[in-house]
Structure 1
């Protein structure tokens, strides 16, 4: 019987010598001088930057990304990153920050601090055959946007109607009754064993019971080898992201607030039953028609369940930018935190973007998003658009604060505050 996969970092030299950090599930590890780092050096240690490197672990995978550090990160004697003389962290982050996939026996060095990497066990019986780059997508099997040879029992699969970091979506017809559905197809990003498959299927079956008028219904799900499919309620109006492409300067206040309020109704229902979404963004709010009516939250539980089963690959270092722009800071610093307050940030950032066509954080063109998120701080929404009512702006700004304790704690709190602001 194969051993459970595990990644261990042992500090063998430097001020933290003797410390051991072990990971048996998907997590992140932050190293540097900042108090929010999991391994923190002294504030006066000039060999390390405040946020020096981020390690994402999804055993047996481990990927290190230098975060625009001054002195770089050495892996087996090879330097990754480092800034030129007089170059600021922000300037360095405009280059793609270097990352390296770690192997058993690798050695990481930052100044006097040395980590030895040990990777144990396997989790493979079915190879994932995932595309390079971290995005779970079956696009390699597509020709002209149509699935080539894709067979999903009981469905006639049509054209592709969407794609993203977690997969591709097709218009399909259920043969039994002719119902039109949105068929989402995802590939496991890690080698797949039966325990992981069963964990995921069990999680999704629980999610399937989540029924609310403001949540896209999951009708059926299944899998074959490393491919998973989900038949979901079809929303003909597309997503909020589609709507914004038709209104590039930002949506009217009344429309944006109504859409988000409807989505918050569904989110509140889920939060009160112990569910957290973890991947909220404009693409995951769907609409009944092109006019923007009938908002519903989609992909509920998929991101969380895929991660908890260890199937998602790298979702922080490998995440697509569209997800990172709506990611709360604690999803990097406290990866395993699963609380409604994190969904509040993402929904607040979504409303911010809907109103201003700008992100809550200041992402400069070409800048790597991870250091921006870790530095923290958001731009007050009225700095983007001073015409916005002060009451609405105050609600949005509170929803997207980095301080968890100052944020609305649940979707219902956020929705009620929004109602008061526009009443």
Structure 2
């Protein structure tokens, strides 16, 4: 392998992640090692290599970079870019706490840019959520989309989304077409990005329900929430923007991920997260118009 393991960063259901050093290139990497059972599974091995192939084809400042992969002692591994910091989950505040609005909008802007680049290159992520965004501790923060293990090529043969009648999704962020194992598109990622934006702004996903089944039903059938009622400092213009991104019909959404995030940033410009911020903003606009020649 040629890598020197420095520390354990975390683990998931099928893999472990370590901080490692690549002495030949004098850089730190994130080393993902597939578990022994999955390393013996043809399906899991195929998914692991599939993620490597997709990430190797994408070179963008806001997409984590894949370096190399291999197999040691019967276990598959891959080395990718290491981002010193935390996942976007740390940006999620409790519902009664106010977000760092400048940072949230910056992260969303960078994620949208990375997603649009992936879409232009024929890839949909299909698991966009704060937990799959790396936000560095530097300033301005490095922002990288990670975890492309559910990603798919748009214009190449791919296996069906559903396996044994089930589709693997992160339900709180899943678009209706993804939940129904239908045709996915860049609009599917846009829906998930809007769900993530709502969580980062309010501390809750669009449809916080008692269980995943109820959440899935809400994604399929319930109208999007009015988040200006959750947080009174959010102007009503934000509701309209997010409602379009959360349209049940993918064709009714925006043409890119960048467009709704740009509109969000404009709507939240000069807003300070406090209860009467929208009212103060409207008074400021009215006063400016009144005194302008």
Structure-to-structure mapping, 1:290-329, within 5 angstroms: 293-300=141-148, 302-304=149-151, 308=158, 323-329=170-176
* Aligned partner of 1:192 among 26, 41, 60: 41
The reply on whether 1:390 has 2:236 as its aligned counterpart is yes
Structure-to-structure mapping, 1:7-406, within 5 angstroms: 153-164=1-12, 167-187=15-35, 192-193=41-42, 197=45, 201=49, 204-223=52-71, 227-244=75-92, 249-289=97-137, 293-300=141-148, 302-304=149-151, 308=158, 323-333=170-180, 335-364=181-210, 369-406=215-252
Shift of 1:380: 1.9
Provide TM-score, normalisation by structure 1: 0.54
Structure 2 CA distance for aligned equivalents of residues 167 and 226 of structure 1: 14
Shift of 1:280: 0.6
Q: Which runs of 5+ in 2 are unaligned?
A: 270-293
Which structure has greater strand proportion? 1
Query: CA-atom RMSD, angstroms?
Result: 3.6
Shift of 1:252: 2.7
Report the CA distance shift for 1:419/1:330 in structure 2 as closer, same or farther (over 3 A). same
Shift of 1:356: 0.1
Provide TM-score, normalisation by structure 2: 0.75
SS of residue paired to 1:214 = coil
Shift of 1:174: 1.6
Provide Cα deviations, 1:250-291, integer angstroms capped at 9, x if missing partner.
523222111101111111111111111111100111112176
Q: Which runs of 5+ in 1 are unaligned?
A: 1-152
SS of residue paired to 1:303 = coil
Shift of 1:406: 1.9
Aligned 8 A contact 2:177 2:184 in 1: no
Which residue matches 1:116?
Answer: none
Aligned 8 A contact 1:353 1:360 in 2: yes
